Copies of this chain bind each other. A is one copy, B any other.
């Protein structure tokens, strides 16, 4: 029942509309990663990946914190809920399942990645 603005949904869906960014999110779903670790699999420059991460941050899908000279990125699933609500409402069903979804996501804690806390 979160009051979701259309502008937020724009940011979220736009962030998801790129396979590189979805790939980053899939990696982050497994746990925290540094920007460098996230950039490694891709052919493009580090700066390009950094910009993709910035888009994800702007959509609040990724939280980033400095850890020494590393930037630790963490998946934030909360906006996914908004996206899922939108899809669910579009299909106009499933609203009973939605509360479970919301509960799960608000209590979700990502697994720890290969990095040390």
Q: Which residues of chain A have a CB within 8 Å of any CB of chain B?
A: 6-7, 9-10, 13-14, 16-19, 22, 25-26, 29, 75, 77, 80, 83-84, 86-94, 97, 101, 104-105, 108
> Contact at B87–A83, with CB atoms within 8 Å?
yes
How far apart sit A17 and B84, CA to CA, in the bound complex (Å)?
A: 13
Return chain B residues, CB-CB under 8 Å to A80.
Answer: 87, 90-91
Can you tell how many copies of this chain the complex includes?
2
What secondary structure prevails in chain A residues at the interface with B? Answer: helix
Closest to A86 in B: B22
Return chain B residues, CB-CB under 8 Å to A83.
Answer: 83, 87
Given contacts A9-B22, A75-B90, 13 further A-B contacts (CB under 8 A): A6-B22, A9-B17, A13-B17, A14-B14, A16-B17, A26-B89, A29-B89, A29-B90, A29-B91, A29-B92, A77-B90, A80-B90, A83-B87
Closest 10 pairs (CB-CB, A-B): A13-B17, A6-B19, A14-B17, A13-B16, A84-B87, A77-B91, A13-B13, A80-B87, A17-B17, A29-B92
